Structure 1
């Protein structure tokens, strides 16, 4: 990052000893003296530049986090402060003109900002996703970055990191583009054929339910899984249905295509990963005659969608939008665009006349406050306004990541609900039940009404019995040496700190009880995440998990190398870049050929790595980022997966395993989780497994107890405290 501009006093000397005052040299010299006086007599030098701007911003976010959950605006501020702090640290370390005392002072201030960021992130673990190298940088974040730099007196474009300068999504929301080929299409066909509803029956007007709050009960009906059955609408028998020449559909795929052919137009296709959702969506569009079709996808799978469209629907040309869309073919039947560039194309996409829209990895829009969610919802609304009964499909193998509320944005995209209530068609179905939310039967009936709107959920075990089974095997490892002892000491220190707080609270009551107070345990665990004193030690559950990941890296790489030499190709997943780096160094030292799939790669680099792993027999390991490579990859050439680090959610872990366990796999799949024994790592693994019940209960009709939506981190701290109290 460029340094804040400072007035210099040597301007006159550079212009001939100050004789050319009319040329500006003297003015600069006088300006420099004046600025110097201001620094001596007014604002101190320490309050110049970007540091005070960052300090004010981060303290505002910290204050908000202590009172209530952060909104989208504060989350954006958190991300931008972290981004600018990293840039400033790099500048300070590499500035040759900076005196060492000054350098040390600025690095100390940056450490303080980093400490506040870490403390704030412990109040909401999802904030850590904003700090990753592959985190999305929205248009709002870019605008705030420019604003902060202007406040600091720095040109926003100076020394911008390449990732910011070159990112095609770096476009203000109001900077819309219209590709030339779109203009040509409009000129060639300026009139759109009017469409009329096939079913002119008006929706049932609200009778009993007009004054009821219904969204909460609808979401709760899925959490309860009242009838114990899978969340999937009834689909027609596909017998006799024609398939594209030379291509074979599985029965479950043909069922959905047949439903679209018979007139169903909204689908939440939540099949487990690996069951061919892409093919189903493309063939459903073909059956519904929903061309032109818009497909919105993560950038990492954009080229994959183009290839799949050419494979499954060869009679319908496909094009992809890159950047401003200069090479877009607007006359194609299928338009594929990634979330990151929707900002600049949202205007013309909404008015283009699409008859269908598919949103892949639809859990990406679960945060309604994000820019990409707003863009998707805006385009879908425009399509519904301009077309009678368009085909709208949301595809995701993991529609529930943390909470039932993750459904909200997806249902709104499909047109089932709006911000406050069900839309008329769903409301009519609810009215027809004759029930209200106070009736005991309402939950089951409401759940079935929503399912029949178009939820389709099939499990591999039910519809793809020819796909071999998978299992997750935990491989405990002992962390020896100095790093292992350091981690153990940090855990003991953390546990002892919580025990001391528990004892102090019990003593303060005056009548302490020998029984364990679970409410107090929970309160201390929550407080521990927020306590600024604990952060002074540099130890918390997040930092320890990262240290454990680094300590496990060599052991996980060793086991991967053994697997590769005995069973063939292996997929290695890690969460942090430094763990990936350590593993790749270990593979190189053993002469083991490998490829790397990361979030900072271009689509061309990514595809080259995938092709190398899949097609080259000598490439034995694919080293993958758990967050960046967990979706959109077909790696069934391998049947063994090594999870070197744990995710915070079961959904992310499952997505990674399903890169291998999918249609086309002909061998049993084993995922080896490397668990650091006798550390918080083992506790986290147990908690992640316990929370896996949420999606099963909501979507698969499981009667297993659903995992709480409470923080895994808080539960891990509670477990540590309970064990420490029991061990006394």
Structure 2
């Protein structure tokens, strides 16, 4: 007897996405079939317009998956480790390191409270949000990431947490930090422990580990060492038997494949208590968070492949064999997992109500035409693939450590060197405009911080300061740590020092410069977090004035490309850390304060009078025309003229007084009638800026009119063109409207 075997049809693959968004709820996305939508509604699902998905109670997850898997091959289900991450650390932390099982035991003594375990002398000096940060750490066995925005005060929270667990220094602690911050940490621990211990000195128990061949002193209870040294002295450090570890600027460990990370990450995992500090835990990608979460919860995040598949949106790489994990996915879930038991993060705008505002100005400047031509010629020869690699670095250890040799392998070292040359030329091309801008800025403010990347740019700024006989400090990679602290204090305490010339690498973290409230970026940096770190040298606790960050974007350089990439990276970082998409926002509307010379003020006043005269003339004409028309004319025409008058008023009020009483040019918004003045989007400065014979040109697009405003264009254009002709006849004009 012959039996016919019936083959089952393969199930259709369904790419429905599931995300945990709360202990009790999950989100279902990418549901387009009406039948599937009805299934969700049967489980009491509610549609979330913001996140474009259906929200269900977590208790329905198993039943929902069971029903869907009968119909489809469902992908993107919630993996097991996600549910494990929703549970706090229990009595035993069980994990493996290099195939060896490790166990860390906890009891009730590891759960503390600020009120019971910190003296009143220190509690009185803490902000409420700092107390909450300490409480969060105590409730989670002191294995946490404090990711407060830079300038909020992470150091003091870590010091207080450590004190509560060290029991009056009866146990040992290690502080790992960048080399430039070693003496800063010694200073801060001394300062705050004197408060905690009622004046008792602890300096004799603190040792700064200077070199890998140093010996750890017997009385040392607090060992401070840099990331670079600890990797070469890890065996000696392990014998120190630290009870608690603090890793400052923990994003130094973002790449698990570096020698530094391979030495330090396993060491930190084995400590009973670990405090990670960084204001920028994910410089650009979820991939860079893995090292940090694996330190805090080695029992949950056991391998990168599971994590990467869930949160890094892996795709086939265009540059190497294998997958590219530089993407981002399930950001809502990752944010919730981080903030549930591992990470606490507060932004300055949320917790420091008295901290002055910070705004960014994007200023377009002209560049040296010959250098601009060099940049254009180089970019023509550079392959798009090489440029893409540089703008989106692959997760490759060789690239992270030695980009030159990486390109030398199969990616063209000469191409990479060409881009590095373009990067340097981008700074040189606008250097004269940077110096002009700085000179004018110093006429209205007492102190300015200037950041740059290349030595040649720093040298030119230093030469400018010497030529103008301006006192300054300079901090770059050649300055020793002890000397750096001295120079910072000089800038802060000496009113005669007006310029701080700083390199990104040496001074974008670990120093406080709140005596200045203006930061000038002579060059852009590849990484958004570095830019924000540099900004927050001034915008932090202790700042009393609004901080303005001046970004000078050179025409025909790499600046615009870097600016766009920074915005893209910041969107991903904001979604993961803060639970919402954010940009590195620029206040693209403000005109530089240095335009406030007497000549420009007078010209602005004259132009205001011209505008007012045109306004009166136009109003007179409109009145006469109304008198001649018949009384039975439609009211619509009167309404149109009134709307036209509102827009004319917007044009007339292009100049107003800012907070300091200085004149400032503004851009007109033709779509929002309620606001007569809003700032312009971009500022363009011509070669000899700010020489008064040159024009300060402010552009606006006619495309901004939408259909409902077409009826007033005729009324608007006529007086504007009359004004334009008058202004063009004036050789001293500094503001024109361009069609």
If the length of structure 1 is used for normalisation, what is the TM-score? 0.54
Alignment match, 2:163: 286
Counterparts of residues 104-253 of structure 1 (less than 5 Å):
242-245=119-122, 248-253=125-130
Q: Which has the higher contact order (CA 8 A, sep 6+)?
A: 1
Give the match's secondary structure for 1:322. coil
Give CA deviations for 1:183-225 in whole Å, capped at 9, x if unaligned.
xxxxxxxxxxxxxxxxxxxxxxxxx9xxx99899969x99xxx
Give the match's secondary structure for 2:537. coil
Shift of 1:363: 0.7
Change (3 A) 1:252 1:238: farther
Separation in structure 2 between the aligned mates of residue 608 and residue 654 of structure 1, nearest angstrom: 24
**Residue 639, structure 1, aligned to residue 487, structure 2:** no
Separation in structure 2 between the aligned mates of residue 451 and residue 533 of structure 1, nearest angstrom: 40
Greater CA radius of gyration, 1 or 2? Answer: 2
Separation in structure 1 between the aligned mates of residue 240 and residue 390 of structure 2, nearest angstrom: 53
Separation in structure 1 between the aligned mates of residue 545 and residue 333 of structure 2, nearest angstrom: 41
Give the match's secondary structure for 1:627. helix
Separation in structure 2 between the aligned mates of residue 346 and residue 392 of structure 1, nearest angstrom: 17
Give CA deviations for 1:34-54 in whole Å, capped at 9, x if unaligned.
xxxxxxxxxxxxxxxxxxxxx
8 Å Cα contact 1:265-1:391 kept in structure 2: yes
8 Å Cα contact 1:643-1:674 kept in structure 2: yes
8 Å Cα contact 1:528-1:534 kept in structure 2: no
**Residue 301, structure 1, aligned to residue 176, structure 2:** no
Task: Decide which moves more: 589-598 or 606-615.
Answer: 606-615
Shift of 1:526: 4.7
Change (3 A) 1:382 1:239: closer
Give CA deviations for 1:286-319 in whole Å, capped at 9, x if unaligned.
1233741110000101100001001112345422
Structure 2: gaps (5+ residues): 1-65, 67-75, 87-110, 307-328, 392-406, 586-739
Alignment match, 1:689: 567
Give the match's secondary structure for 1:672. strand
Change (3 A) 1:497 1:217: farther
Separation in structure 2 between the aligned mates of residue 533 and residue 361 of structure 1, nearest angstrom: 31
Shift of 1:273: 0.4
Give CA deviations for 1:638-673 in whole Å, capped at 9, x if unaligned.
111010000112111101001111111111000111
Change (3 A) 1:555 1:261: same
346, 371, 391: which is aligned to 1:487?
A: 371
**Residue 361, structure 1, aligned to residue 245, structure 2:** no
Separation in structure 1 between the aligned mates of residue 416 and residue 574 of structure 2, nearest angstrom: 37
Change (3 A) 1:686 1:294: same
Separation in structure 2 between the aligned mates of residue 304 and residue 252 of structure 1, nearest angstrom: 23
The number of aligned residues is 437
Shift of 1:524: 9.4
Give the match's secondary structure for 2:223. strand
Alignment match, 1:393: 275
188, 207, 212: which is aligned to 1:319?
A: 207
Change (3 A) 1:311 1:345: same
8 Å Cα contact 2:210-2:225 kept in structure 1: yes
Task: Decide which moves more: 305-314 or 545-554.
Answer: 545-554
Separation in structure 1 between the aligned mates of residue 539 and residue 475 of structure 2, nearest angstrom: 18
Structure with the bigger percentage of strand: 2
8 Å Cα contact 1:362-1:410 kept in structure 2: yes
Give the match's secondary structure for 1:486. helix
131, 134, 146: which is aligned to 1:257?
A: 134
8 Å Cα contact 2:140-2:342 kept in structure 1: no
8 Å Cα contact 1:236-1:259 kept in structure 2: no
Counterparts of residues 439-450 of structure 1 (less than 5 Å):
447-450=335-338
Separation in structure 1 between the aligned mates of residue 359 and residue 506 of structure 2, nearest angstrom: 23
Shift of 1:277: 0.7
Change (3 A) 1:528 1:310: closer
Separation in structure 2 between the aligned mates of residue 246 and residue 451 of structure 1, nearest angstrom: 24
Change (3 A) 1:571 1:580: same
Shift of 1:528: 11
Give CA deviations for 1:506-553 in whole Å, capped at 9, x if unaligned.
xxxxxxxxxxxxxxxx76965999899999799944422311202322
Structure 1: gaps (5+ residues): 1-207, 223-234, 384-389, 424-440, 502-521, 708-728
Shift of 1:478: 1.1
Alignment match, 1:405: 287
Separation in structure 2 between the aligned mates of residue 527 and residue 576 of structure 1, nearest angstrom: 22
348, 352, 371: which is aligned to 2:240?
A: 352
8 Å Cα contact 2:178-2:248 kept in structure 1: yes
**Residue 555, structure 1, aligned to residue 438, structure 2:** no
Shift of 1:340: 1.9
Alignment match, 2:319: none
232, 254, 259: which is aligned to 1:371?
A: 259
Shift of 1:622: 0.9
Give the match's secondary structure for 1:566. coil
Separation in structure 1 between the aligned mates of residue 567 and residue 361 of structure 2, nearest angstrom: 12
Separation in structure 2 between the aligned mates of residue 534 and residue 343 of structure 1, nearest angstrom: 31
Alignment match, 2:296: 414
Change (3 A) 1:245 1:403: closer
Change (3 A) 1:682 1:269: same
8 Å Cα contact 1:214-1:421 kept in structure 2: no
Change (3 A) 1:348 1:562: same
8 Å Cα contact 1:358-1:395 kept in structure 2: yes
Alignment match, 1:8: none
Shift of 1:493: 3.9
Alignment match, 1:668: 546
If the length of structure 2 is used for normalisation, what is the TM-score? 0.53
Give CA deviations for 1:677-712 in whole Å, capped at 9, x if unaligned.
3444233323322321121111011145999xxxxx
Alignment match, 2:505: 627
Aligned-residue CA RMSD (Å)? 4.0
Separation in structure 2 between the aligned mates of residue 380 and residue 548 of structure 1, nearest angstrom: 41
Change (3 A) 1:552 1:310: same
Structure with the bigger percentage of helix: 1
